[in-house]
Structure 1
Amino acid sequence: MSPVIANVIPRSEMKKAITVLCLFFVSSCGLGHSEISKELETQMRNNDWEKIDLSQVGGSAWQRVCVLGPYSDNSRAEHALGFKWDLEKKTSVLSSDSVNVLAFVEGKDVIAYVEHPRTLGDFAQLSGQCFDRVNATLVRDKTTKGNWVSFVTPK
């Protein structure tokens, strides 16, 4: 009878493999909002939901921010941004009415973006529009009924 040879992974190697897999799964899961979305919500709450200054979020390198509302597709993104960007692959906005995408742009690159829940401040009325950093303060739309908070450009 031949001896059975088994490849046994040493315990220390197994622990490393399990740790790496756990870290991968945890980092793959969206644990709540993104950092940008959290910054937006904090600013809105601090301003009693009356205004938002987008120049204070998304990092310091961007020149303009573009809003892409629910059901926006790659064509709409290209029209707003002025260059191709695969919105459909990178976000769920094409098939969802629960988020707006804010794309932070430097030159011809989207350097950051966020899918922001509309229930935490809605930018849908501004879909397809871009704002230079110095003109990125938005105000609450007073015509919106109920508790829904929509943002528009100041008059």
Structure 2
Amino acid sequence: MKTPQALAIVMALLTSACSSVDDSVSAAIGNAVREKHAQEIRIAALTDFEWEKVYLFGPYAPRAHICEVLGVEARQCERIVPFESMDDGVMSLAFVSGTQVVRYARHSRLNGDFTPVANRQPILASEAVFKVVPSGLAQDGRPWVKLVPKAI
């Protein structure tokens, strides 16, 4: 009787592991914007993987829309885009090399607010430079920082 339960637990863990969400990019951005006297961030300097361009998707962006923009086939969509933002505080970053999505990351807006999302997308790695603009406090009292595209 314990075997089916153990199997169910193992399957649940494996399923969740296959659709793990990367928050490390968001954490790196957050650390950079909170550095003393931070005036700008270069996303390429904050990542430890190769990419050519990044797409920013605001809160509540539907997975189907994201996959359409990224050119991901419907049958691969859930694997490539493992989550949808379901609240105001979370957005998504999709890093692309060639035609391949190399990283899809959840980004907490408390780590730097990219909204409103730039109309001109994708953003090339060399141009993914943002001004750090302090913008008051979040509801919980933490500093709120806007990340504004810097003209290159």
Question: Where on the TM-score scale, by shorter chain, does this alignment land: which range?
Answer: 0.5 to 0.7
Taking the TM superposition and a 5 Å limit, the aligned residue runs for 1:19-38 are 24=13, 34-38=23-27
Contact 1:125-1:151 at 8 Å conserved across structures: no
Q: How far does the alpha carbon of each residue in 1:91-135 deviate from its partner, in whole angstroms, 9 at most, with x for none? A: 131x22211111110111110121111112111222563211111
CA distance in 2, matches of 1:122, 1:131: 16
Contact 2:55-2:122 at 8 Å conserved across structures: yes
Relative distance call for 1:89 and 1:154 in structure 2 (3 A) is closer
Higher relative contact order, chain-length normalized (CA < 8 Å, sep 6+): 2
CA distance in 2, matches of 1:105, 1:124: 20
Flag structure 1 segments of 5+ consecutive residues without an equivalent.
1-16
Equivalent residue for 2:29? 40
Relative distance call for 1:35 and 1:118 in structure 2 (3 A) is same
Q: Percent identity?
A: 25
| 2:44 is the counterpart of 1:55 | yes
Equivalent residue for 2:149? 153
Equivalent residue for 1:84? 72
- The structure that has the greater radius of gyration is 1
Runs of 4 or more consecutive aligned structure 1 residues displaced over 4 Å after TM superposition: none
TM-score by length of 1: 0.65
Contact 2:33-2:145 at 8 Å conserved across structures: no
Which residue, out of 112, 122, 137, partners 1:121? 112
| 2:126 is the counterpart of 1:130 | no
Relative distance call for 1:91 and 1:48 in structure 2 (3 A) is farther
Which residue, out of 61, 86, 100, partners 1:109? 100
Shift of 1:136: 1.0
TM-score by length of 2: 0.67
Q: How far does the alpha carbon of each residue in 1:5-58 deviate from its partner, in whole angstroms, 9 at most, with x for none? A: xxxxxxxxxxxx9xxx6xx59x85xxxx73222222222222545322101133
SS at match of 1:62: coil
Relative distance call for 1:98 and 1:154 in structure 2 (3 A) is same
CA distance in 2, matches of 1:60, 1:120: 20
Flag structure 2 segments of 5+ consecutive residues without an equivalent.
1-5, 138-142
